[in-house]
Structure 1
């Protein structure tokens, strides 16, 4: 007979950002444990609130599934003597497995006979195994941990109760001095302690105690509450999935309410108001049907409707104080010029070894100037880009950014417009921080993209030159994220400039500075970008061997390199391409034996030699043309024209002939062809055969 299993970890309030991942870990590790323990079940569901993590296993079997396995013994020639009697080795083997010689059977493995017995592993009662759940609980990882009282366990928050049931029986175990029980706790203020009769009662019992344990149900309650509020007040509440998820993980019983603030605060930049509401108070901003910000906000209370007006007034008071501070900071900031703030940057250290923020801005500006020239931008775009680079960090010393740090760049755009800067330059000030996350939005303007790349390149090259290379999970300057951002921008904007050229622009700013040798720093930087490119290509399902092939030489132009990788990834699964691959790889293998490059036509002995050489010259010209146009498919097709002449060459010629002059000439021909192939990719690195 199957029974349900419930395990709940009761905690002091978890940070909202910890909840989802912890719930997933608990679910995954529970499922893994049941499967490895051979305990069948119908389904597993998980629950979470700020104060609890729980799993409910439906219809778990009362005992493990029994197993039969073949146990291999010694070879038959050892297990039997010349008369066919079982030896001590055979008798000892069977005895050790709880069997007798009567249970022996033989089986041939690679031409040798071995003795076997079939051993049955009887499943244990589930009840005896379930106390191992304590190990699942202690294995859950959190971004930050703490210790409490005399406990040695490190956990996100102190464990206050453990509920563990197998049917109606308590599963006995202990974690951090807390023993399991059939008791759970309701809402901190609206509920009380209750005893569960059986696991199936869990969700309904806690709902009566003002706890909605299903996070999706809490989210739906919040959405329905906001929709109702919007309809009643005839306004629009913009969707924000991240904020919705966070708020759902802050409450156990959500109740939506509407508050207001003085309309005079609407004179502040909208981003300031929205940040004050979202980031500081976890409120949802409210807009009109025309998308204009209104003097209202929507909040979510952890509780019911009791004394809701008092709660609303308290939240309004807190927000009013925030907005009052913001208004003061904004008005004070407007009294100073951009130049005033730029001068302040000279006293703000970017990094001890890399100078001040002002030093960094100077380097960004120099890189942006050269990059704008390399991209052959029009004069207006270049002017706006350089100006954006010059002022890209001016908002950092402002009162507003000091108070609302996540508004850096956004405040810069607003203040730049107030100061009379062009819209393009102002916008680039905001966009140059993008992407904020590795997979975040990239800048929407060319000016913003150039300043973003210049800023990130300066940080990456500077930090690596100073010996600040990320190790393991430690990356305090976000170099991996910034490198990913650079590569994504290069690909999205289809810039025809190599990564090596870009790095050189940044490295020029650090000439003579490097804490390590300049050549070493340059190599470490290139290798760092190779790792990032490898990661990005894997994200697009490009195979590791194809990545290795296209990165044989320099990294090159990112959009073209990505196209070559995609083309090769498709061809490696194409049977029609196999003869081409075999021919080209054969050339690469032989060319590795020589450095010869001088080809003398007069030395050719056979028609196939001359034909291969003539084809090579034609292909080389066509290859150069398509390669310059970055036509990945057509360029590979040009190399494919060499396949038939190569096969004919090998059919009619011996490369390593005794005549040294002929041998060198043939190797020189192959080496020249190999140089062309390598320019595209190292095709020998691709594991073609496993796909045919």
Structure 2
């Protein structure tokens, strides 16, 4: 009869950021072992708190499934030696399968005879396997950081202090690092006691009696319920950032939501500073009014019950007061630092040992931003603001506030620049040049911010590529993929005449002038083109099916806005029932066009009226089609191409392209080559799948 299985690993407090992954890893490893061991089971549930990782599996079968299978071995030719006896290969096969060679039999497969054996195995009792499997699962776990304790060789995320292992109501006996399994778990460090787990199914409820909510979803529900209740009672908007909620979730075993206050005088500090200080230092949720303005309150989650909540709130208020006082001091001191002095300090900060200081990078950003401004034909005033923004965009990196809170870079630069009397577009551009900071973040709203942001990110990417730092697999220490995706996003949000190739060559020129290119510029440009191609493909894949994506990418993606619009237009067209026939006519043109050796069309060599009709029709459509493409009207351009279908159909009905006469054949292929060249400016239609 199936039994439930419970494994709990009791630990000293584990860093919150490690817990969810560790919980899932324990679950996955246990399920994988059961599968490989041929042990059936029911629902699997993982649990975790700061002091424990656990997995609970329902209805685990009491024994492995019996095995009865036919196993194929070597061919007869290999299995028998010259005397007809079993060869070493056959004997090795017998040993590997645990069978007697005398049980072999021959069977034909694909015209070749092979030896086969019937392999039977009676399943072993699950209980006899668990005392070796469970410790192996635990000791095979990996973590971002490990530690050792005592004289034990085991490396684990934190020292193991107790373990519960139950199969049904029986303890699964084993020992790790001097800790033996049992049925005694530990409750909340201050509100609970040691407690006996009678059976796996009683685990969560038993610990709840000892003030521990082991169910992660239940614990999160209690936190959100407490925050929402407080928000409703007070009329507040409580800002819940997902990563902060995740951290708080794994800092507590018994969550109780409470609030506190701080001196309204602190509200003279920029709101972002206060919110960052509360979130990063104290793990507090900020409180806003309905207009999104910060109020002098905070919300936090206690690892305990409601006893003496007022004293707990006052203690938190005292700590926050000290934090905010520090922030106010930094803020006031930073404003005494002239921007020019801050820029001088950038000369001492190394960006990368092979790419110079941050000051060197700022100078490169300025040159590249200027070149991009010229390519994009910005007006004189915007060009002036771009130049100034690029020159001072990193000055806040040397401020005390950014040193304390690196995530405020740009935020503080905007504020300090505005207070120093910089033009508003420049102050805003300093903040915006960091955007988009992450996937899903918005692009800079202004052209000033967008061009400086592109220059900054492209400088980093080109610099890294030039010294051989190119992302591989999951390795991307300089977040180059994210920065490339940001550039693609900005080029879409701020359509310009600047192509990828122009941007790459401008950046490479700046790096060449600085003497930083360690590789051939053409090789770097090719790598950049391929690298950005994957980012463009990701964007297209969000709005079009895979074959449409492949079709438009095959025609080039140098103009990012154009390839996206082509993808949208083609995606809409392929959903029309008659478009398949149009594509088939295009493909007939493309298939034969590849055989052309001459590319000049001589109308005097036309022998059929349909030849003249097709070529004339193409010339009529071509100008309009290419004009529409140049104007960014890809949908209408595709519609113009579709008008060619009747003439193409009539042409292939009446004309034998591969004529015997060399001149006529060559001219017909040249005609198709001319049309194909136009088609391929839009997409490679042969890649569409019906």
Q: For each residue in 1:123-150, what CA deviation from the matched residue of structure 2 results, as whole angstroms up to 9, or x when unmatched?
A: 5433344453445445544334445555
The answer on 1:443 being equivalent to 2:444 is yes
Distance in 2 (alpha carbons) for counterparts of 1:564 and 1:289: 42
SS of the residue aligned with 2:607? coil
Q: Which ranges of structure 1 fall in alignment gaps of 5 or more residues? A: 77-87
Residue number among 554, 566, 575 corresponding to 1:552 in the alignment: 554
| Residues 1:604 and 1:341: Cα distance change in structure 2 (over 3 Å) | same
| Residues 1:396 and 1:103: Cα distance change in structure 2 (over 3 Å) | closer
| Residues 1:635 and 1:146: Cα distance change in structure 2 (over 3 Å) | farther
The answer on 1:62 being equivalent to 2:62 is yes
Distance in 2 (alpha carbons) for counterparts of 1:568 and 1:150: 67
| Match of residue 261 from structure 1 | 262
The answer on 1:48 being equivalent to 2:48 is yes
| Residues 1:118 and 1:374: Cα distance change in structure 2 (over 3 Å) | same
| Residues 1:350 and 1:116: Cα distance change in structure 2 (over 3 Å) | closer
Distance in 1 (alpha carbons) for counterparts of 2:543 and 2:160: 42
Deviation larger for 624-633 or 518-527? 624-633
Deviation larger for 644-653 or 519-528? 644-653
SS of the residue aligned with 1:441? coil
Q: For each residue in 1:610-659, what CA deviation from the matched residue of structure 2 results, as whole angstroms up to 9, or x when unmatched?
A: 23322322232232022113333333333334444444444444444443
Q: Which ranges of structure 2 fall in alignment gaps of 5 or more residues? A: 77-85
| Match of residue 279 from structure 1 | 280
| Match of residue 471 from structure 2 | 470
TM-superposed deviation, 1:315: 2.9
Whether the 8 Å contact between 1:190 and 1:209 is mirrored in structure 2 is yes
SS of the residue aligned with 2:300? strand
Distance in 2 (alpha carbons) for counterparts of 1:314 and 1:118: 73
Q: For each residue in 1:10-55, what CA deviation from the matched residue of structure 2 results, as whole angstroms up to 9, or x when unmatched?
A: 2332222222233233334444554555544442222111222222
| Match of residue 332 from structure 2 | 331
The answer on 1:25 being equivalent to 2:25 is yes
The size of the alignment, in residue pairs, is 678
Give TM-score scaled by structure 1 length.
0.86
Distance in 1 (alpha carbons) for counterparts of 2:688 and 2:36: 34
SS of the residue aligned with 2:45? strand
TM-superposed deviation, 1:328: 1.7
The answer on 1:356 being equivalent to 2:367 is no
| Match of residue 536 from structure 2 | 533
The answer on 1:521 being equivalent to 2:518 is no
Distance in 2 (alpha carbons) for counterparts of 1:646 and 1:177: 82
| Match of residue 200 from structure 1 | 201
Distance in 1 (alpha carbons) for counterparts of 2:206 and 2:365: 60
Distance in 2 (alpha carbons) for counterparts of 1:382 and 1:170: 75
Whether the 8 Å contact between 1:215 and 1:248 is mirrored in structure 2 is yes
Distance in 1 (alpha carbons) for counterparts of 2:553 and 2:573: 17
Whether the 8 Å contact between 1:497 and 1:556 is mirrored in structure 2 is no
| Match of residue 422 from structure 2 | 421
TM-superposed deviation, 1:515: 0.8
| Residues 1:162 and 1:387: Cα distance change in structure 2 (over 3 Å) | same
SS of the residue aligned with 1:295? strand
| Residues 1:496 and 1:138: Cα distance change in structure 2 (over 3 Å) | farther
Deviation larger for 407-416 or 225-234? 225-234
TM-superposed deviation, 1:373: 4.6
Distance in 2 (alpha carbons) for counterparts of 1:282 and 1:385: 38
TM-superposed deviation, 1:109: 7.7
TM-superposed deviation, 1:198: 0.5
Distance in 1 (alpha carbons) for counterparts of 2:358 and 2:65: 65
Distance in 2 (alpha carbons) for counterparts of 1:597 and 1:152: 75
Q: For each residue in 1:379-430, what CA deviation from the matched residue of structure 2 results, as whole angstroms up to 9, or x when unmatched?
A: 5544444433232112111121112211111111111221223333222211
Distance in 1 (alpha carbons) for counterparts of 2:116 and 2:558: 60
Q: CA RMSD in A?
A: 3.8
| Match of residue 11 from structure 1 | 11
| Match of residue 125 from structure 1 | 125
Q: For each residue in 1:436-476, what CA deviation from the matched residue of structure 2 results, as whole angstroms up to 9, or x when unmatched?
A: 22333333333322222221112112221233222333322
Distance in 1 (alpha carbons) for counterparts of 2:565 and 2:136: 48
Q: For each residue in 1:518-538, what CA deviation from the matched residue of structure 2 results, as whole angstroms up to 9, or x when unmatched?
A: 111222222221232233434
| Residues 1:43 and 1:664: Cα distance change in structure 2 (over 3 Å) | same
| Match of residue 81 from structure 1 | none
Residue number among 646, 660, 663 corresponding to 2:662 in the alignment: 660
Distance in 1 (alpha carbons) for counterparts of 2:317 and 2:673: 77
TM-superposed deviation, 1:227: 4.1
Whether the 8 Å contact between 1:542 and 1:565 is mirrored in structure 2 is no
| Residues 1:664 and 1:144: Cα distance change in structure 2 (over 3 Å) | farther
| Residues 1:177 and 1:540: Cα distance change in structure 2 (over 3 Å) | farther
Whether the 8 Å contact between 1:159 and 1:178 is mirrored in structure 2 is yes
Q: For each residue in 1:495-552, what CA deviation from the matched residue of structure 2 results, as whole angstroms up to 9, or x when unmatched?
A: 4532222223322312343111111122222222123223343455641x54443333
TM-superposed deviation, 1:291: 4.4
Whether the 8 Å contact between 2:551 and 2:688 is mirrored in structure 1 is no
Residues 23-172 of structure 1: matches in 2 within 5 Å?
23-35=23-35, 37-65=37-65, 123-130=123-130, 131-138=132-139, 140-149=141-150, 154-172=155-173
Distance in 2 (alpha carbons) for counterparts of 1:612 and 1:630: 26
| Residues 1:168 and 1:348: Cα distance change in structure 2 (over 3 Å) | same
Whether the 8 Å contact between 2:544 and 2:567 is mirrored in structure 1 is no
Whether the 8 Å contact between 1:500 and 1:554 is mirrored in structure 2 is no
| Residues 1:125 and 1:611: Cα distance change in structure 2 (over 3 Å) | farther
TM-superposed deviation, 1:561: 0.9
| Residues 1:624 and 1:135: Cα distance change in structure 2 (over 3 Å) | farther
Whether the 8 Å contact between 2:396 and 2:402 is mirrored in structure 1 is yes
| Match of residue 248 from structure 1 | 249
The answer on 1:604 being equivalent to 2:606 is yes
Distance in 1 (alpha carbons) for counterparts of 2:235 and 2:550: 58
Distance in 2 (alpha carbons) for counterparts of 1:121 and 1:618: 77
Distance in 1 (alpha carbons) for counterparts of 2:242 and 2:480: 27
TM-superposed deviation, 1:152: 5.4
TM-superposed deviation, 1:234: 5.8
| Match of residue 679 from structure 1 | 681
Distance in 2 (alpha carbons) for counterparts of 1:4 and 1:534: 47
| Residues 1:68 and 1:605: Cα distance change in structure 2 (over 3 Å) | farther
TM-superposed deviation, 1:229: 4.3
| Match of residue 396 from structure 2 | 395
| Residues 1:569 and 1:113: Cα distance change in structure 2 (over 3 Å) | farther
Whether the 8 Å contact between 1:5 and 1:60 is mirrored in structure 2 is yes
Distance in 2 (alpha carbons) for counterparts of 1:153 and 1:653: 80
Distance in 1 (alpha carbons) for counterparts of 2:233 and 2:653: 84
| Residues 1:338 and 1:656: Cα distance change in structure 2 (over 3 Å) | same
| Match of residue 83 from structure 2 | none
SS of the residue aligned with 1:300? strand
Whether the 8 Å contact between 2:103 and 2:117 is mirrored in structure 1 is no
| Match of residue 299 from structure 1 | 300
TM-superposed deviation, 1:482: 0.4
TM-superposed deviation, 1:578: 3.1
| Match of residue 79 from structure 2 | none
Residue number among 615, 629, 632 corresponding to 1:630 in the alignment: 632
